């Protein structure tokens, strides 16, 4: 049977979007909040992520242990994540357990007590999480890069916050930020799987009572800052991120940047992987990725290599970027990248949680459902000339930001 998509907007403005997929066993339900680290003040950086943790720590009728036991007793998953622009709380269960999953999600989202003792314990957990990132240079470099790339803008702040901010956030901060920000205008509930839209609406009735305020803190459009930052650290490798501005999430050129990223560092057949790892063995990990937001974006290359080959790897990365400016890519390479991109997207949409996520992202960034047909046609329309023109625009030395951590030699940073 074909899946069907439904959308209902409650009187308070909250949108509920579902995709009925009767041929699978599971269902995934997500509460999406259009609030992330970019909506925070410097002094409260990390509060969205802190609240994400605290919503699992007890409600008026459930302890933290009750929450964990109830969802695990049916083999379900209950989790959450915070990003730069959104926070999501979600559950995945067998379809027969949808009422339980919705009840738990509604309870933690609407009735959390933010108990003072639990808050202090969870503060320690988040501080340990920050320490973990600081001890993991191949994670940390991405935060160092974002801070340099979006210098002075909230988009560059770490999602987890830092020691000072997380230590200073108190219960009043948490409660007032939650009440102001986690409101219907900022919420979307999406669900996909073996479910029925009408039945789900009845289960989600508690959300009809949420009051309507319009207080999302808008942030200015970020502007990227080219330049070089490096942090000396006694590590076995130098970890680097090199990036350039790219079209944003909903930009008409998005299919071009998807393909350029795939060709550049999107897999084992990509130019970066072949040049740096396969031909020369200079890195174990080398790849590129896109960080696309509402009003801005970046294309970022990551590599980890020995200190004495750092300069060589940097020159090779720049050489690979230059190959995209010299001539149009061949038909065979472009076709292969298109098939890779379409194949990975379609394979990625086989689960209920990936469908639930797509519903939310489509609504957040496009205010509509983007069909798979539209996406595949968008990819197919991209020409070799489109890729060449985009590369000429973004692979410009004046637009590049480089961040590195490790035993960095300054002479290697000249490019």
CA 339 to chain centre: 24
Task: Give the separation between CA 242 and CA 301, rounded to whole angstroms.
Answer: 5
Q: Give how far Cα 95 sits from Cα of 90, 92, 103, 198, 200, Å.
A: 14, 9, 14, 14, 11
What is the DSSP annotation of 96-161?
Answer: GGHHHHHHHHHHHHHHB---HHHHHHHHHHHHHHHHHHHT-HHHHHHHHHHHHHTTTSGGGS-TT-
What is the DSSP annotation of 178-193?
Answer: HHHHSSGGGEEEEEEE
* Cα angle 131, 148, 296; round to 5: 110
Task: Give the separation between CA 236 and CA 185, rounded to whole angstroms.
Answer: 48
Among left, alpha and beta (phi > 0; psi -120 to 50; other), residue 152 is left
Task: Give the separation between CA 200 and CA 101, rounded to whole angstroms.
Answer: 11
Among 304, 269, 271, 266, which Cα is nearest to 287's?
A: 266
Among 206, 194, 161, 188, which Cα is nearest to 47's?
A: 161
Task: Give the separation between CA 294 and CA 276, rounded to whole angstroms.
Answer: 33
Known active-site residue 52: yes
Task: Give the separation between CA 273 and CA 267, rounded to whole angstroms.
Answer: 7
Are 352 and 24 in contact, with CB atoms under 8 Å apart? Answer: yes
Instruction: Provide the 8-state DSSP code for 69.
Output: H
Task: Give the separation between CA 13 and CA 10, rounded to whole angstroms.
Answer: 5
Which one of 20, 40, 52, 118 is the catalytic residue? 52
Show which residues are catalytic.
Answer: 52
């Amino acid at each position: 049977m074909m899946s069907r998509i439904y959308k209902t907007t409650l009187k308070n403005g909250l949108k509920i979007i579902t995709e009925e997929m009767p041929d699978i066993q599971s269902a995934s339900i997500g509460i999406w909040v259009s609030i992330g680290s970019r909506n925070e003040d410097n002094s409260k950086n990390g509060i969205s992520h802190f609240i994400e943790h605290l919503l699992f720590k007890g409600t008026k009728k459930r302890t933290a242990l009750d929450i964990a036991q109830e969802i695990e007793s049916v083999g379900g998953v209950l989790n959450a994540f915070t990003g730069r622009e959104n926070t999501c709380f979600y559950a995945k269960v067998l379809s027969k357990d949808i009422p339980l999953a919705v009840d738990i999600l509604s309870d933690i989202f609407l009735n959390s007590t933010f108990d003072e003792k639990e808050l202090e314990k969870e503060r320690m957990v988040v501080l340990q999480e920050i320490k973990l990132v600081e001890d993991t240079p191949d994670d940390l470099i991405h935060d160092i890069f974002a801070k340099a790339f979006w210098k002075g803008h909230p988009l560059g702040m770490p999602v987890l916050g830092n020691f000072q901010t997380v230590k200073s956030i108190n219960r009043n901060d948490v409660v007032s930020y939650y009440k102001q920000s986690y409101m219907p205008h900022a919420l979307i509930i999406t669900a996909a799987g073996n479910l029925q839209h009408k039945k789900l609406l009845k289960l989600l009735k508690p959300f009809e009572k949420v009051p309507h305020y319009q207080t999302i803190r808008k942030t200015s459009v970020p502007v990227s800052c080219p330049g070089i930052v490096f942090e000396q650290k006694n590590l076995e490798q130098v970890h680097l991120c090199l990036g350039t501005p790219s079209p944003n999430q909903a930009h008409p050129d998005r299919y071009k940047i998807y393909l350029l990223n795939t060709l550049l560092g999107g897999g084992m057949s990509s130019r970066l992987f072949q040049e740096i790892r396969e031909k020369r063995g200079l890195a174990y990990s080398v790849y590129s990725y896109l960080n696309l937001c509402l009003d801005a974006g970046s294309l970022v290359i990551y590599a980890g290599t020995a200190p004495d080959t750092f300069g060589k790897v940097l020159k090779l990365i720049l050489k690979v970027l230059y190959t995209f400016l010299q001539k149009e890519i061949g038909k065979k390479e472009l076709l292969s990248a298109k098939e890779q991109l379409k194949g990975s997207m379609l394979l990625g949409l086989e689960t209920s949680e990936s469908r639930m996520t797509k519903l939310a992202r489509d609504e957040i960034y496009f205010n509509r459902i983007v069909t798979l047909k539209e996406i595949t046609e968008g990819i197919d329309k991209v020409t070799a000339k489109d890729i060449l023109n985009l590369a000429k625009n973004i692979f410009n030395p004046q637009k590049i930001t480089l961040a590195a951590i490790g035993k960095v030699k300054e002479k290697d940073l000249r490019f």
